[in-house]
Every structure is written in structure tokens, then in C-alpha cells.
Amino acid sequence: MTLLAERMKRIDASGIRKIFALAAKLKNPVNLSIGQPDYDVDLLVKETAIEAIRSGQNGYTQTWGIEPLREAVGAYYHDKFGVELKNVMITSGVSGGLFLTLMATVDPGDEVLFADPYFVMYPHLVNLLGGVPVPIDTYPHFKLTPELLEAAITPRTKLLILNSPSNPTGVTLGAAEQEALAAVARKHNLLVISDEIYESLQYDESPTSITRYYDNVILLNGLSKNAAMTGWRIGFAAGPEEVIQAMNTLQQYTFVCAPSFAQHAAVTALKQDMTAKVDAYRKKRDLMYAGLSGIFQVTRPGGAFYIFPETPQGDGDAFVRAAIEKNLLIIPGSVFSHRKTHVRISFASSDETLRAGLEIMLRLAGAAAAQTV
């Protein structure tokens, strides 16, 4: 008798973790794989956390989260997007919020739509719950359009997961684009999960939220990317009361609550000015795009800290293996997609590291081109 549940056959270990295992013997690699900011948590946020610990804020909180943070989340979305969020709850990161949302809404056989390329968790969590993940091919521009969405909808479709800016492509959906997608969702009465974890890192246009255009949305966001609080596990969700209440019930039996001291610190983090960080990452985006675009087919990312070039011979897996041999750590696009033609590069690193990575990639591209002559 096997010790494992049958559901474990529906998921696989993260492809990113497999790459890390492959590269474990590298010494001081040029690392352009990490999906977390290279800046640290702001000092004032750290001090708020320390004060919360010292003052005894170390026990369980309400499953919903502490009221000051729920109010701060509401104020953040009101001030930035003009949106009045409903039923805000604090989650253990956006990943925790995503798991709770899907647990609360997906039955076996329900179809869940999302753009391909996609964040790695989307298909695996849907599979785990017995749902049917439906990736929508958005190559080569990586934009989910109303036409593509409409064509993918069937009588079994229940959910759309939207992610803007996108991991892994960095592509953003502007106000008109999100409003058009909202119209399709409204027509078919879809529940939309809007993963907005990168909304504060946009470089060319003002960020927006589909919550401005559609009510049947579970908003997911958090402090891991804008405040660099990746290990603090603070996220938040908001949306229709029926779903959020169910998520809160599930949280009682799973995560219980987000870390208490980190919730207090998050109130401060939501008020920090992101301007300098966004300006610095815009320059890093421009550095990487300028360095890659002459040799690689690549879409200019409008947000997040990823760029997703197509490899010269169309085999991202082989390109990553060759890169690891040259002490460069990047992620194959097949981790995020049904295609394996691209690679994901994180530019959340120093300019020196970015230039070193570019040099290796350009040498590899030249060698690949020479092989085809």
C-alpha cells in the first residue's frame, strides 16, 4: 500500500527547484534566477516589526487578520486605484491566498483559464484539486486578449486567473485591456482571480486593477515584492463575501493566521514610497532589454523584474543547461509554459551581475548561431 494520496500524482516538483538542484555545485554563479527583490526590507518596517515583537504581539491574531492592516489595505487600493475593496482578509502570502481561493471555488472537472506563459503554481494547484487547468497560448506578444479568452470558454469554465504584471514575462495589461477582459468575464459570469503581486513594479504606464471594472473578482496581493518581505508571508485577499468567508473558514484549518508581528509591520510597509525602487528597476529593465534585443527575440517587459527572451535555436531547456556550464543560472521557459522556446531571466540583481549574465548569454547565442551556419 502506498503512503501517498492519489492526488500527489497530479502535481510535480517545481521545475525551478529542479534547476537549483542541477546548479547546486556551482560556485558563486551569476544568478539571474531569483524571483525576489535584491533590495532589503525598509528600516522603518523592520523597526515596526521589532517593536511589535517587544510589545508582545506574538500570539495568534484573528483569522481575518488584524484590523489596522485590513484598513490599511483598503486605504491603499482606494488611494491608488479608486477602488473600495470588500471583505478584506490577510493571508499567508499570495501563494496562501491562491491556495485558499482555489480550494474554496474549484470542484473536480471545473475548468480554470489562465494565460500561457503562467506562474508555476496555477496549473499544479488546479490539478491537485481535480480541476482542469486550461492554459491560453499568448505567444508571441504574451497578452491575453478578449478574443483569446472568448475562444477558450466552454460550459465547464468557472474561473479566470489574471496576472498583471506577469511572472514570467513582465508583460502588463493596461486599463483598456483589463476592462475588455472584464466585459468577457461579465458576459459568462466568470469568477476572476486577479494576482496583483507585482502591481507596484510598473515602468511605462500607471498600474491598474480589474477590480475597477468588475465585481466578481478575488483580488490577491501582498508585500513580498514591493516591500521585499518574501519570508514574512503577508498577503491579502478581497472580493465577494461568499468566497472570502469560505476562504476564512479554510484558513482556520490550515494557515490559522498570517504571522502576527509581520502583520503589524505590513501596515507600515503599505505606506512606503516605491518611487526610487521603481526607477532603479526601470533602469535594470532597460539594461537587459537593450542587451538582449539585438540578438534574441524578446518582448519588452512593462513590469515585474523578469524578461522572457526566445533562445536562438528555440530550445530553452538546452540553452539553460549550456548556461549552467558557463556558471550562469537562469530558468527554462518550459517551467512556465507548454512551450520550451524561451528562458526566464530575473533582473532583480546588481548591474554588475546583470552585465556578467548578458555577456554569457550573448556568447552562448553566438555559439548557437555558429552551429547553424
The pLDDT value recorded for residue 285 is 98
3-state SS of the chain is: CCCCCHHHHHCCCCHHHHHHHHCCCCCCCEECCCCCCCCCCCHHHHHHHHHHHHCCCCCCCCCCCCHHHHHHHHHHHHHHHCCCCCCCEEECHHHHHHHHHHHHHCCCCCEEEEEECCCCHHHHHHHHCCCEEEEEECCCCCCCCHHHHHHHCCCCEEEEEEECCCCCCCCCCCHHHHHHHHHHHHHHCCEEEEECCCCCCECCCCCCCHHHCCCCEEEEEECCCCCCCHHHCCEEEECCHHHHHHHHHHHHCCCCCCCHHHHHHHHHHCCCCCHHHHHHHHHHHHHHHHHHHCCCECCCCCECCEECCECCCCCHHHHHHHHHHCCEECEEHHHHCCCCCEEEEECCCCHHHHHHHHHHHHHHHHHHHHHHC
The pLDDT value recorded for residue 373 is 36
The reply to whether CATH 3.40.250.10 applies to domain 54-269 is: no
Matching CATH topology for 6-40+274-372 and 54-269?
A: no
The pLDDT value recorded for residue 79 is 96
**316 vs 90, 113, 140, 343, 353, CA distance in Å?**
37, 24, 15, 5, 21
Residue 140 C-alpha cell reads as: 508571441
The pLDDT value recorded for residue 34 is 87
Place of cell 515584492: 225
What residue segments make up the domains of the chain, in order of their start?
6-40+274-372, 54-269
- Give the CATH class of 6-40+274-372: alpha beta
**Spatial separation of the C-alpha atoms in residues 129 and 5, rounded to whole Å:** 12
The stretches in the chain having pLDDT less than 70 are: 13-23, 367-373
The pLDDT value recorded for residue 12 is 78
The model's pLDDT over 192-232, given as tens digits with 9 standing for 90+, comes to 999 999 999 999 999 999 999 999 999 999 999 999 999 99
The pLDDT value recorded for residue 228 is 96
The pLDDT value recorded for residue 283 is 98
Burial of 66 (0-12, 13-18, 19+ CB in 10 A): buried
The model's pLDDT over 153-175, given as tens digits with 9 standing for 90+, comes to 999 999 999 999 999 999 999 99
